[in-house]
Amino acid sequence: MPSIPCPKCKTQITFNVKDILDGKAYNCMTCNIKITLSYKDNETALSQATKQLDKLKDELGIK
Protein backbone atom coordinates (compact mmCIF):
# COMPACT_ATOMS: atom_id res chain seq x y z
CA MET A 1 0.00 0.00 0.00
CA PRO A 2 1.32 3.45 -0.81
CA SER A 3 1.60 5.84 2.11
CA ILE A 4 2.25 9.49 2.84
CA PRO A 5 3.58 11.11 6.01
CA CYS A 6 1.06 13.09 8.04
CA PRO A 7 1.82 16.81 7.53
CA LYS A 8 1.50 17.38 11.28
CA CYS A 9 2.95 14.37 13.12
CA LYS A 10 4.69 12.48 10.27
CA THR A 11 2.86 9.25 10.97
CA GLN A 12 2.73 7.23 7.78
CA ILE A 13 -0.82 7.12 6.49
CA THR A 14 -1.57 4.38 4.01
CA PHE A 15 -3.96 5.17 1.25
CA ASN A 16 -5.69 3.45 -1.60
CA VAL A 17 -5.15 5.01 -5.02
CA LYS A 18 -8.76 4.31 -5.99
CA ASP A 19 -10.00 6.17 -2.91
CA ILE A 20 -7.93 9.20 -3.88
CA LEU A 21 -9.41 9.14 -7.36
CA ASP A 22 -12.83 9.02 -5.72
CA GLY A 23 -11.93 12.08 -3.65
CA LYS A 24 -12.06 10.27 -0.30
CA ALA A 25 -10.55 12.03 2.73
CA TYR A 26 -8.30 10.36 5.30
CA ASN A 27 -7.86 10.90 9.01
CA CYS A 28 -4.49 10.61 10.70
CA MET A 29 -4.69 7.80 13.29
CA THR A 30 -2.32 9.64 15.63
CA CYS A 31 -3.39 13.30 15.66
CA ASN A 32 -6.75 12.88 13.91
CA ILE A 33 -6.33 15.68 11.39
CA LYS A 34 -8.27 15.27 8.20
CA ILE A 35 -6.27 14.92 5.03
CA THR A 36 -7.71 15.27 1.59
CA LEU A 37 -5.43 14.20 -1.19
CA SER A 38 -5.96 15.84 -4.51
CA TYR A 39 -5.04 13.67 -7.45
CA LYS A 40 -3.79 16.72 -9.34
CA ASP A 41 -1.55 17.87 -6.48
CA ASN A 42 -0.17 14.38 -5.96
CA GLU A 43 -0.14 13.19 -9.53
CA THR A 44 3.54 12.16 -9.53
CA ALA A 45 3.33 10.13 -6.32
CA LEU A 46 0.04 8.58 -7.32
CA SER A 47 1.14 7.65 -10.82
CA GLN A 48 4.24 6.00 -9.31
CA ALA A 49 2.05 4.11 -6.85
CA THR A 50 -0.20 2.99 -9.68
CA LYS A 51 2.81 1.79 -11.68
CA GLN A 52 4.10 -0.15 -8.66
CA LEU A 53 0.68 -1.70 -8.26
CA ASP A 54 0.60 -2.71 -11.93
CA LYS A 55 4.09 -4.20 -11.61
CA LEU A 56 3.04 -6.16 -8.53
CA LYS A 57 -0.03 -7.43 -10.37
CA ASP A 58 2.18 -8.60 -13.25
CA GLU A 59 4.50 -10.38 -10.83
CA LEU A 60 1.58 -12.08 -9.12
CA GLY A 61 -0.12 -12.88 -12.40
CA ILE A 62 -3.27 -10.90 -11.57
CA LYS A 63 -5.08 -9.54 -14.58
Residues that bind Zn ion (CB under 5 A): 6, 8-9, 11, 28, 30-31
Of 9 and 21, nearer to Zn ion (C-beta) is: 9
Nearest to 17 by CA among 44, 28, 63: 44
Q: How far is the CB of 28 from Zn ion (least distance, A)?
A: 3
CB-nearer residue toward Zn ion: 30 or 47 = 30
Element (H, E) at 36: strand 34-36
Shortest spacing between CB 31 and Zn ion, in angstroms:
4
Q: Where are the alpha helices (DSSP H) in 1-63?
A: 17-21, 43-60
